[in-house]
Amino acid sequence: MESRTLHLLDYPKVLDLLTRHAVSGAGQRACQSILPLGDQAALSLASRLLRQAMCWFGESSYIFSGFPEIDGVMAYVTKPVTVLDKDALWAMTQVLELVRTGRDAVLGSNESRFPLLVESAHHVIWPEKVWSGLRRCMGPDGELKDESSPALFSVRQEIRNILQRCTRKVNDFFGDQDIAPFLQDEFLTISSDRYVLAVKSNFKGKIRGIVHDYSQTGETCYVEPLFLVELNNQFRELKQEEKQEEQNILAYLTDLVRQEFCAVGQGYAWLVTMDVLQAKTRFARQMQGITLDMEPGGTLELREARHPLLAAHPGTAVPIDILLEPGQKGLLISGGNAGGKTVSLKTLGLIAVMAQAALPVPVREGSSLPYWNQVVVSMGDEQSLEDSLSTFTAQISHFSRLWPKITGDTLVILDEFGMGTDPSQGAALAQAVVDALLDKGAWVGVATHFPALKVYGLVKEGVRAASVLFDPRTKKPLFRLAYDQVGASQALDVAREQGLDASILARAEEYLLLDGGDSKEIFERLNALAAEKESEIERLKRREAVLEKKWEQRRAKLDTEREEVILNVKKEAQDIVRQWRAGKQGRKQALEKLAKAREQLESGMVRSAPAPAFGWDDLRVGKRVVYAPWDKSGVIEERDERKQKIKLNVGGVSLWVNTLELLPERVISNASAGYVLNRQPASSSSMLRLDLRGMRADDAKAALESFLDTALLKGGTSLEIVHGKGTGVLRQIVHEVLDGFPGVESFSLGNADEGGDGMTRVILG
């Protein structure tokens, strides 16, 4: 895409806004280099990655903080015999630390939700040797640790001993002589790798020693007392040894970086990519933007679109809808000056370029764009003094140069095309250009004041006319588009508002009447009707939003009440079963109470259902559905036309149910924990089945007890427990539980054709 087009659409200014959200210099440069992608597959991949990143950054508590640039370090280390200094290695340590923590945060995410993001982190090869070496050698202050090598530890220990000996000698010297008044500082300091005293210059002769340096003001001189000379000589030798050992360690670390150069560079590049994605996410939040896919064959439907530069400052942009119907590829905008025609076209063009660059755009969810591999822009004033071209000539020259490159995947924006010459010829040329573009299959956005082109927009197939709206009372622009109509240019009204002399305006109105071209009243009436329609639409949208909010609140309340009913009934059922096990009530009485509890649960489930999920004709014999009160799948066995009821087989249990209690099979909320219902077609037996194979002993025992409770609650009479043969441990546990469980009348191993001693039959009494 031409850089000229990007500048006309203010794309570099968008990148400037994006760059402010990057946390590193490398990330800022990467943001500035983002360009539209010419390959549809690459664009689709980048858009999916951005969508996942925006979701991940919205949910994750991890934030990528600033990190140093190491591009120069990576370039320097490629040169042979070079050694990285401590600053470079400390910067690399910071970078790798962020790569490590950030990569762990991404890899700890749900891979099914963020596959591209997790895959990008998986592809980062971790430089284990470099990280191990840097972590052992580099301290948090950027200096080498004593533990970097035994030699460095030893020499630094000697240096510390020298300091202690020097300090003792100085303290002894202070104790023998009263020299404190001569000193600027009572502590030792270092000058030229030697321990010295800071002495007031006018008293330097009071201390026998060597003067090494003076302060910038000249008030302090640094004197090495003679009694420290020998120790300082040792100290200087040790400092040389320390520097040599540090250089050896730096060379060693540099060699590690060379060995794992690709891994370090890969991690750094990934960190910069994550910085850019984080910047895009923050930019999207700032302008309330979304990720917009560009699909081949898609429609132009931008809902509540805002110019990105205005959207970055909340409250300054008026949302507009830029819409074309199926089969339309041209949008022609007319209406008064300063009403928003050019801004509307620039909004369309800039959003298209941003979407093509995989940047978030300020539109509402549900918007769509066709895939455009390039955008071509021709603005009104193309005059070029340097090339001695008039406005009209410059327009035509620029368009002629681009004409061969325009295809069916091109968006062409023409702002006041044809101006700067005779209006009738300019309008005719503009119509011909739009015709030719549509013949090529290109998409076209046009802003015009030509009356002939306005009529063209109303009658040309494949083109949709739109007008910018003005307030009928104040004549102020509303910055909205009214579709399928054209608007007056309102040049005289704009001139009046800008303070042009009234006598000039009056004479202009006379000339307009003489010319027979005053259609002001007609256009004003059209504008008033369109403004009234837009106002009514806005009122209805606000009312719809209020009703939706009320509906959400009511639905949330119903869900809360439903959960309370289910919780209360479950507690009641548990109490009944507990009392029955304790022998406080008989089995018949317990079953009656459980039946009442089930009725209460069913009624609560039905009341919370918003609408029947099936029509009567949809409920055919053999169809699988979900019985909502039990949240279990079943098969329809019979239909009662008169009572409008369904006989349903749920896991071997047949019962007549109301159609309001049925849901499509795919909406089962969750399976009951610990057991599996037999989902075979309906049979004559009420058989429930539990498969414990592969479970641990404790899990199997808990699952069996829960299964028996549920079977009693549902009125089951015959059960099958599949525990497998194996070592017999599961079989023993099953029989121990059954032997002491209330309500179990008898149990026995299955027949040979049923699994033999791998399955136990249970009869509930």
Mean pLDDT over residues 177-204, rounded? 75
Distances (CA, A) of 115 to 40, 53, 126, 249: 20, 10, 20, 41
Tell which wins on pLDDT, 632 or 713: 632
Tell which wins on pLDDT, 526 or 61: 61
Confidence check: pLDDT of 608 > 90? no
pLDDT band at 196 (very low <50, low <70, confident <90, very high): confident
Share of the chain above pLDDT 70, in %: 82
Ramachandran bin of 118, using left for φ above 0, alpha for ψ from -120 to 50, beta for the remaining angles: alpha
Mean pLDDT over residues 498-502, rounded? 71
Q: Using one digit for the tens of pLDDT, what is the confidence trace for 693-713? A: 777 777 788 778 778 877 776
Q: Using one digit for the tens of pLDDT, what is the confidence trace for 254-305? A: 999 999 999 999 999 999 999 999 999 999 999 999 999 898 888 999 999 9
Greatest C-alpha distance within the chain: 124
Tell which wins on pLDDT, 675 or 36: 36
Rounded (5°) CA angle 156-159-162: 155
Mean pLDDT over residues 488-503, rounded? 66
* β 624-627/632-640 pair status: antiparallel
CA–CA dist 670, 630 (Å, integer): 10
CA–CA dist 424, 418 (Å, integer): 9
What CA dihedral angle connects 47, 50, 55 and 61, to 10 degrees? Answer: 170
CA-CA-CA-CA torsion sign (385, 388, 390, 396): negative
Mean pLDDT over residues 655-676, rounded? 59
Distances (CA, A) of 422 to 396, 418, 455, 637: 14, 9, 18, 82
CA–CA dist 300, 182 (Å, integer): 85
Q: Which of 57-85 are b and which e, b meaning 16 or more Cβ less than 10 Å from the residue's Cβ?
A: beeeebebeebbbbeebbeebeeeeebbe
Q: pLDDT value at position 336?
A: 74
Residues 6+ apart with CB under 8 A from 188: 163, 166, 167, 170, 195, 196, 197
Q: Using one digit for the tens of pLDDT, what is the confidence trace for 262-271? A: 999 999 999 9
Tell which wins on pLDDT, 17 or 765: 17
CA–CA dist 452, 461 (Å, integer): 15
Burial (0-12, 13-18, 19+ Cβ within 10 Å), 435:
middle
Confidence check: pLDDT of 55 > 90? yes
User: Hey, how many other C-beta atoms are within 10 angstroms of the C-beta on 605?
Assistant: 20
Cα 157 from chain centre: 52
Cα 309 from chain centre: 21
Give the three-class secondary structure for 319: coil
Q: pLDDT value at position 670?
A: 37
Mean pLDDT over residues 631-648, rounded? 83
Which amino acid is it at 237?
E
Helix (H), strand (E) at residue 535: helix 520-581
- Averaged pLDDT of the chain: 82
Q: What is the pTM of this model?
A: 0.65
pLDDT band at 498 (very low <50, low <70, confident <90, very high): low
Q: pLDDT value at position 439?
A: 93
Mean pLDDT over residues 614-625, rounded? 84
- For residue 191 the two structure tokens come to 């000058």
Q: pLDDT value at position 674?
A: 36
CA–CA dist 611, 620 (Å, integer): 19
Q: pLDDT value at position 495?
A: 65
CB 749 within 8 A of CB 713: no
Residues 6+ apart with CB under 8 A from 12: 6
Residue from 218, 419, 454 nearest 336 by CA: 454
User: Hey, how many other C-beta atoms are within 10 angstroms of the C-beta on 101?
Assistant: 13
Domains of the chain, first to last: 3-127+260-287 (1.10.1420.10), 148-253 (1.10.1420), 294-487 (3.40.50.300), 609-670 (2.30.30), 687-764 (3.30.1370.110)
Q: pLDDT value at position 668?
A: 38
Q: pLDDT value at position 529?
A: 61
Q: pLDDT value at position 418?
A: 75
Identify which of 154-158, 335-339, 482-486 has the greatest average pLDDT: 154-158
Q: Using one digit for the tens of pLDDT, what is the confidence trace for 667-684? A: 433 333 333 333 333 333
Mean pLDDT over residues 725-736, rounded? 83
Which residues does residue 370 pair with via DSSP β-bridges, in sequence order?
295
Mean pLDDT over residues 39-44, rounded? 91
Mean pLDDT over residues 13-33, rounded? 96
CA–CA dist 161, 292 (Å, integer): 67
Q: Using one digit for the tens of pLDDT, what is the confidence trace for 331-342? A: 999 887 766 788
Mean pLDDT over residues 452-464, rounded? 87
Residue from 357, 265, 406 nearest 37 by CA: 357
Residues 6+ apart with CB under 8 A from 339: 468, 469, 470, 477, 479, 487, 490
Tell which wins on pLDDT, 498 or 64: 64
Q: pLDDT value at position 383?
A: 45
Tell which wins on pLDDT, 620 or 511: 620
Q: Using one digit for the tens of pLDDT, what is the confidence trace for 502-555? A: 777 676 666 555 544 545 555 555 566 666 666 777 777 777 777 777 777 777
| Stretch among 294-303, 415-424, 442-451 having the lowest mean pLDDT | 415-424
Distances (CA, A) of 535 to 344, 512, 530, 541: 19, 32, 9, 10
Q: pLDDT value at position 387?
A: 43
